[in-house]
Structure 1
């Protein structure tokens, strides 16, 4: 790694110490990813991250469990999106229910990975979040894709604003550029992108662009 390359900094939130230690252990062997903090639940995470923010030391990515005491993962993700919108959040959980996935994506989560995933997949989710992309576990992406065959799925399920965002995604715009174009916050733009990907059963911006072309929303 060159001296000019900045490490991706990660904060781990899970109520099981063995999980936190395991994640930190395998990330230690990744040259440009560093774990800079951890917490046992969402409330503790918010308190620690607020303190880190005061010193200009916020992490780039928070790895977040869903089922935790005091403040669960969905509530924590929502609070993070409001208080620290620059942080990317990746859910690392054993829950595969679509309702939980949809709820997470609604709050702008950048990734949803199952705890039985390989270390390479967790690393990939962290890196994807840094590129402002959405990373979904293969099984989750497959189940979301299956929803395309239901009447409520497809472009008809998108709001007018989501269709507009989809056109901009297909045009290659980043979340920041979309926010500037629509005069909204970057966090709101990221939430729109996550939500439309979930509704369409897609796992990447590239797939969304292909759908937009296929459905005639933009020229090929």
Structure 2
């Protein structure tokens, strides 16, 4: 059986590299490429309607217009059984657990070798989770012996919702409320509300302290 793979990454050279990797496997075929979030959703929907949709979606975290985590949420809402393997250049601790909580079938750093990527695609296509040892360690830290850790034991940034974390990242990166509103297609008032929640949950007083918190926790995007 040939597995159809949709590659979603905004860098052409990365997509070309992944295509070369997948060409080494006779049972894998690239059925499409997306350079932004909306295209990833459009190609998946169109493929599903035609009966030639992806069996696995390779989805970059840092997608333009609509980021990878937003796309992941939409895909899992519309196609709950579709395996989505997240790709990232960010350290695992920034997004791995968050991605898995949103329904990702696995999280793979782009520094992984070609064999690991091929194995990961085959594994998630069979309905299994792909978890590297480093991600397994993060998951163990996020879950206590009796279940999920009590909120008081969680790192402050892990208490943020997905949207709050997006706003947190952008604020820490020096973006204004207006710029964030435009990027996330939200009203400035809504972004201000999220900003207030982020400051409260992280225990800082302003954007400067928020940026310092992000640096201290190594959470700034490259």
TM-score normalised by L of structure 2: 0.63
Partner of 1:153: 144
> Which among 50, 53, 60 is matched to residue 45 of structure 2?
50
Inter-partner Cα distance in structure 2 for 1:51 and 1:58: 7
Inter-partner Cα distance in structure 1 for 2:69 and 2:105: 13
Question: 3-state DSSP class of the match of 2:64?
Answer: coil
Partner of 1:115: 110
Task: Please state how far the C-alpha of 1:127 moved relative to its aligned partner.
Answer: 1.2
How many pairs were matched up?
Answer: 150
Inter-partner Cα distance in structure 1 for 2:137 and 2:100: 16
- The answer on whether the counterparts of 1:114 and 1:137 sit within 8 Å (CA) in structure 2 is no
- The answer on whether the counterparts of 1:12 and 1:37 sit within 8 Å (CA) in structure 2 is yes
Residue 132 (str. 1) matches residue 127 (str. 2): yes
Residue 83 (str. 1) matches residue 69 (str. 2): no
Partner of 1:64: 59
Give the number of the structure whose alpha-carbon radius of gyration is greater: 2
Change (3 A) 1:124 1:84: same
Alpha-carbon displacement from aligned partner over 1:25-67 (angstroms, at most 9, x marks no partner):
1111101111111100111111122222221111100001001
Question: 3-state DSSP class of the match of 1:21?
Answer: helix
Task: Please state how far the C-alpha of 1:144 moved relative to its aligned partner.
Answer: 3.3
Partner of 1:95: 90
In structure 1, stretches of 5+ residues that fail to align are 1-5, 160-220
* Higher RCO (C-alpha under 8 Å, 6+ residues apart): 1
Q: CA RMSD in A?
A: 1.9
Identify the range of structure 1 (132-141 vs 113-122) with the bigger mean alpha-carbon deviation. Answer: 132-141
> Which among 16, 22, 28 is matched to residue 17 of structure 2?
22
Question: 3-state DSSP class of the match of 2:85?
Answer: strand
TM-score normalised by L of structure 1: 0.63
